[in-house]
Amino acid sequence: MSGAGPPDLLARARAAAGEVVDPEIPVLTIADLGVLRDVSTEGGRVVVTITPTYSGCPAMDVIALEIALALARAGIPDHEIRTVLHPAWTTAWMTEEGRAKLLAYGVAPPSAGSSRGALFGQEVVACPRCGSDMTERLAQFGSTSCKALWRCTSCREPFDSFKCH
């Protein structure tokens, strides 16, 4: 996060924006997810920079609105929310806390070392319910476009797995 600007203003803005939850995965904040890229100031105006998990993500408009509301509640009326596509979001930007929250929510998180390269190899996803790695992908898209639908062949339960990007 950028350090330019009055420390109190930036701290309030970071705290407010960092608490906004992802509307598609409500156990994750945008900070957990790595969507919150920067909080800075330009000429006294707070600028919050966000990056979607993939271009065209339908949640980004809601996230931007929720950030604006959170900043207003924090007493920061003069702000701008910027969406940047470069560099592209990657699962490497997710926090360890975010990965743990996903697992507790029943969604298989990407492993910390996952990257775009994982898309081209044999993917192994552990079941978030029983921990077995005896799983199979049923569909490339799950409940949202950033997740795939999997099934555990041990406990037979279906589950979403967050895709590696």
Domain range 7-83, its CATH number among 3.30.470.10, 3.30.300.130, 1.10.3720.10, 3.90.100.10: 3.30.300.130
pLDDT one-digit tens code per residue, 39-74: 999 988 999 999 998 888 889 999 999 999 999 999
- Domain positions in the chain: 7-83, 95-162
pLDDT band at 117 (very low <50, low <70, confident <90, very high): very low
Strand order in the sheet with 147-152: 107-108, 158-162, 147-152, 135-139
Q: Is the pTM of this model over 0.85?
A: no
pLDDT one-digit tens code per residue, 73-115: 999 999 999 999 999 999 999 999 999 999 999 999 987 654 4
